[in-house]
Amino acid sequence: MLSIAIIVPVVAAVAVLALPRDRPQLARWISLGVSVVPLAVVVVAWARFQGGPGFEMVESLPWIPSIGVSYQVGLDGLSLPLVGLTALLFTTSIVFPVDLRGRARQYYAAFLFLEGVSLGLFLALDLILFFVFFDLSLVGMYFLIAIWGHGDAHRSALKFFIYTLVGSLALLLGILGIYLNSGDPRTFDMIEIIRTQPLPAAGLASTLIFWGIALGFMVKTPLAPFHTWLPPAHVDAPAPASTILAGVLLKMGTYGFVRILLQMMPGTFDRFAFPIAVVAVVSIVYGALVAMAQTNLKRLVAYTSVNHMGYVILGIAVAATLGASDAARSIALTGATIEMVAHGLITGAMFLLTGSMLARGKTYEMDEFGGLAARAPALTGTMMLAAFASLGLPGLAGFVAEFQIFAGTLGVYPWLAGIGLLGIVITAALFLRMLQRVFLGPLPDKWMSWSDLGGWELAAVVPMLALVVVIGIAPAWLVNVVDSASRFMTGG
């Protein structure tokens, strides 16, 4: 069943390319219908999910048996929420209206292709399969930025591609290192490697393998100082592509930290958990401070992603600290996973809203706006809700995630938790200032004819923000699923 979510979008991408050029609406409706299929698969998978240790709904076929490569997919409490997030964000991104520049077929085909490989990565249970999907995601996003972006889109797309490709090469070397040390017979089977734990905690080989893989995921996440590709990619990408980049592709890095480094190399990760946590805290504070300095609205939102991914990695580093309390490690990992979901929903919605503002105002510069609340109550309300969720207001999804991350961190690295809390204060200040500059005060004469969000824009943004509220008020349905995996991974 899980393979349907991967195969259908990829096959549909080819079919959409074959449609007549003069039928852009047909391409859109077909793509929207196809994007609902993975959502339906997620609903069924969630209903069937048992929440026990290990993986469920595993599907496996030999692929390259001579070297132990198989097509193997499945899910657990870590991957299921991310698969659901991915399916939802692709549907809402396809719904969102954009200027297709006469290339509707290519645009929707790129989105469907990217959806298939993104879902494949979160479902993959073979290291080579994981890497194939990891690299293919670069291709789909490169074209979305380069062809449908604005500003210096070609340069931003190239920078994104080169940075992340270098990171993926480091990842590949690490994966080959795991394979060569996986015993006899050698295997890329993630379930088997997690079960047997073939790599020793110490030694040169384990250290090199760990840092090769960590480097690849640090670039993808991204953590400072490997983040410099992210702001230009976001600023120049079309709004739906920015939503997928922030909500889905960044999570490939954080997910990899858990699935590969934490589960396959727990002893080695324990040795380096503290320096990873320090880098995470630097990203938290640095991302918030640099976001505070921005005048470009979309660049501001992009830097908050560096900040929020720092929270995620901090929680994962705490979970990797073997000498700490199992309960603290478990709650930190649960919070980190929920933060992945919350960030995808919140920041994804904010990027769509910045796209609506660019379509009307032709600029991201905050000083060009002001007083928009008088003309656009729906835009103002949705942006305020997203901003308050991003700064961790209680009752919204961001608070649920960050509370658990810091609760776990206080039990393991209390000083780092104290420093990391500064990021929340700075984030609150930068979003409140943004809201004041863009939506409050007198309305400039040039915006007297400003139109509020349309039906399709609301159809894209409202489901995401509704989930932000639902998770904030009644999070048990998500926390219980994630916690089933966290307890298994940490012994808590």
Q: What is the pLDDT of residues 177-194, one digit of tens each?
A: 999 998 788 999 999 999
Residues 238 and 274 in one domain: no
Q: Are residues 297 and 404 in the same domain?
A: yes
Q: Are residues 38 and 105 in the same domain?
A: yes
> Angle CA(47)–CA(52)–CA(55) in degrees, nearest 5?
85
Q: Which of 229, 264, 299 is the last residue of a domain?
A: 264
Residue 323's pLDDT is what? Answer: 85
Same domain, yes or no: 71 and 195: yes
Pair 242, 342 in one domain: no
Angle between helices 326-361 and 455-473 (to 10 degrees): 160
Chain position carrying tokens 């409140």: 432
Percent of the chain with pLDDT over 90: 90
Residue 53's pLDDT band (cuts 50, 70, 90): confident
Distance CA 413, CA 317 (A): 10
User: Are 351 and 420 found together in one domain?
Assistant: yes
Segment 69-90 shows an average pLDDT of 96
Q: Give the mean model confidence (pLDDT) for residues 121-131.
A: 97
Looking at residue 182, its pLDDT comes to: 85
What is the distance between the alpha carbons of residues 96 and 247, in angstroms, rounded to a whole number? Answer: 15
Q: Are 9 and 133 in the same domain?
A: yes
pLDDT of residue 434: 96
pTM of the predicted model, to two decimals? 0.96
- Number of domains comprising the chain: 2
Q: Give residue 107's domain range.
A: 1-264
* pLDDT tens by residue, 255-283: 999 999 999 999 999 999 999 999 999 99
pLDDT at 184: 81
Average pLDDT along the chain = 94
Q: What does the pLDDT average to over 329-344?
A: 96
- pLDDT band at residue 344, thresholds of 50, 70 and 90? very high
Q: Is the pLDDT of residue 383 over 70?
A: yes
pLDDT at 21: 86
Percent of the chain with pLDDT over 70: 100
492: pLDDT strictly greater than 70: no
Q: Are residues 52 and 188 in the same domain?
A: yes
Average pLDDT over every residue of 158-174: 95
Residue 362 burial by Cβ neighbours in a 10 Å radius (0-12, 13-18, 19+): exposed
| The two structure tokens encoding residue 4 | 């349907």
Asked whether the predicted pLDDT for residue 22 surpasses 90, the reply is no
Asked whether 298 and 311 are in contact (CB, 8 A), the reply is no
Last residue within a domain, chosen from 244, 264, 284: 264
Amino acid at 347: T
Q: Do 55 and 191 touch, CB atoms closer than 8 A?
A: yes
Confidence label for 101 from pLDDT (cuts 50, 70 and 90):
confident
Q: Are 416 and 389 in the same domain?
A: yes
Q: Of the candidates 216, 232, 264, which is a domain's last residue? A: 264
Same domain assignment for residues 370 and 395: yes
Q: Are 41 and 66 in the same domain?
A: yes
Identify which of 52, 32, 135 has the alpha carbon closest to the alpha carbon of residue 93.
32
CA–CA dist 78, 76 (Å, integer): 5
- Pair (175, 253) in one structural domain: yes
